[in-house]
């Protein structure tokens, strides 16, 4: 038993349906491609915020260490001054007494400088603690917001993957309805024309490139007796009303 002959209109209808599937897949793919980039951006933002907080905590630790070292130096200097002061009562020579007194006075002045530096360090520590606290608060808020967004993106990605898989399954089923020759031409045009290989005609114009179609070719498209391509953009042409009437006849 011979296979039933497939008319030009039937082929056109199948090609239009295939293109609708391919356009949906293309749009879904565009949406899907944006998600990994945004997820990477979120990861980078969080990493940067963690790094900034870590750097400031390290800076705080360094300033606190410097303050402790200054306090240790100050304590040691004060102990030294006490010892020198105790020796003053034991010195018999006025010259030695005056020399040690000058040493004690110089040490006291140096200690005043250390005390001033300690006060500056203490102010730096308070400022850094305030900044660290603010950064921790900002990080917590950002983490909550960005991780929620990341979760939603993951859900959207899973949904898009499922939709694409469904469309691709439908596409695979539809391929059997189209002659290989037209499939090859359709795919070739689609790759060159941003995914649009089949377009309708309207008022003697191709709706792909909007160029006027020669009257004889236009009438051939209207009759739907054979498949015609646009002489300018080379897309496959169809008359929408003919396909609609074909569907009504089948119904």
Is position 52 within any domain? yes
Confidence of residue 250 (pLDDT cuts 50, 70, 90): low
Cα–Cα distance between 129 and 121 in angstroms, integer?
Answer: 12
Note the pLDDT of residue 39: 93
- Tokens found for residue 90: 């034991």
**Using 50, 70 and 90 to split pLDDT, how confident is the model at 248?**
low
Residue 201 lies in a domain: yes
- Are 163 and 195 within one domain? no
Specify the pLDDT at position 194: 87
Q: Which residues contact 59 (CB under 8 A, 6 or more apart)?
A: 128
Percent share of the chain, pLDDT over 70: 96
Q: Same domain for 133 and 235?
A: no
Q: Is the pLDDT of residue 98 over 80?
A: yes
Strand order in the sheet with 228-229: 205-206, 198-202, 236-238, 228-229
Name the domain boundary from 142, 158, 175. 175
Closest CA to 49 of 161, 146, 186: 146
- Looking at residue 38, its pLDDT comes to 93
How many Å separate Cα 23 from the centre of its chain?
A: 24
Tens digit of pLDDT for each residue in 4-50? 678 999 999 999 999 999 999 999 999 999 999 999 999 999 999 99
Q: What per-residue confidence (pLDDT) applies to 3?
A: 47
Per-residue pLDDT reduced to its tens digit, 221-231: 999 889 999 99
On whether residue 156 sits in a domain, the answer given is: yes
Using CA atoms, how far residue 20 sits from 23, 56, 180, 199, 202, in Å, is 5, 55, 19, 11, 19
By the 8 A CB rule, do 188 and 236 touch?
no
Which of 141, 175, 209 is the C-terminal boundary of a domain?
Answer: 175
Same structural domain, 131 and 189: no
Three-state DSSP class for residue 240: helix
> Who wins on pLDDT, 6 or 198?
198
Query: In total, how many domains does the chain have?
Result: 2
Same domain? 188 vs 231: yes
Task: State the DSSP string of 88-99.
Answer: HTT---HHHHHH
pLDDT at 157 exceeding the cut of 60: yes
pLDDT in the model for residue 2 = 43
Question: Residue 14: inside a domain, yes or no?
Answer: no
213, 201 in Cβ contact below 8 A?
Answer: yes
**Domain extent for 231:** 180-250
Q: Which residues have a Cβ under 8 Å from the Cβ of 178 and sit 6 or more positions away?
A: 11, 14, 15, 18, 186
Summary mean pLDDT of the chain = 92
**Residue 138's domain is classified under what CATH number?**
1.10.287.1490
Domain end: 143, 175, 207, which one? 175
Query: Structure pTM?
Result: 0.67
In a domain, 130, yes or no: yes
Q: Determine the 3-state secondary structure of 205 from DSSP.
A: strand
How high is the pLDDT of residue 141? 94
Indicate if 117 and 133 belong to the same structural domain. Answer: yes
113 and 144 inside one domain: yes
How large is the average pLDDT for residues 174-200? 93
Residue 145 belongs to a domain: yes
SS3 237: strand
User: In this model, does residue 247 exceed pLDDT 50?
Assistant: yes
In a domain, 6, yes or no: no
Distance of CA 205 to the CA centre of its chain: 42
Residues of the chain with pLDDT > 90, as a percent, come to: 84
């Amino acid at each position: 038993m011979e296979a039933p002959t497939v008319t030009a209109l039937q082929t056109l209808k199948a090609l239009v349906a295939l293109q609708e599937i391919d356009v949906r897949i293309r749009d879904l793919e565009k949406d899907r491609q944006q998600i990994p980039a945004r997820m990477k951006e979120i990861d980078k933002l969080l990493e940067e915020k963690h790094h900034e907080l870590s750097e400031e905590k390290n800076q705080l630790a360094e300033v606190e260490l410097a303050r402790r070292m200054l306090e240790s130096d100050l304590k040691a200097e004060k102990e030294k001054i006490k010892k020198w002061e105790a020796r003053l009562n034991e010195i018999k020579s006025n010259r030695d007494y005056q020399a040690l007194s000058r040493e004690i006075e110089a040490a006291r002045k140096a200690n005043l400088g250390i005390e001033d530096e300690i006060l500056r360090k203490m102010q730096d520590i308070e400022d850094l603690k305030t900044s660290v606290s603010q950064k921790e608060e900002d990080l917590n808020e950002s983490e909550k917001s960005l991780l929620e967004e990341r979760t939603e993106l993951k859900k959207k990605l899973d949904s898009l993957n499922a939709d694409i898989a469904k469309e691709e399954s439908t596409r695979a089923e539809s391929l059997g309805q189209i002659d290989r020759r037209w499939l090859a031409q359709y795919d070739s045009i689609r790759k060159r024309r941003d995914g649009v290989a089949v377009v309708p005609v309207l008022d003697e114009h191709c709706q792909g490139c909007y160029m006027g179609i020669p009257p004889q070719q236009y009438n051939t498209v209207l009759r739907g007796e054979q498949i015609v391509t646009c002489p300018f953009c080379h897309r496959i042409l169809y008359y929408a009303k003919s396909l609609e009437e074909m569907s009504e006849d089948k119904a």
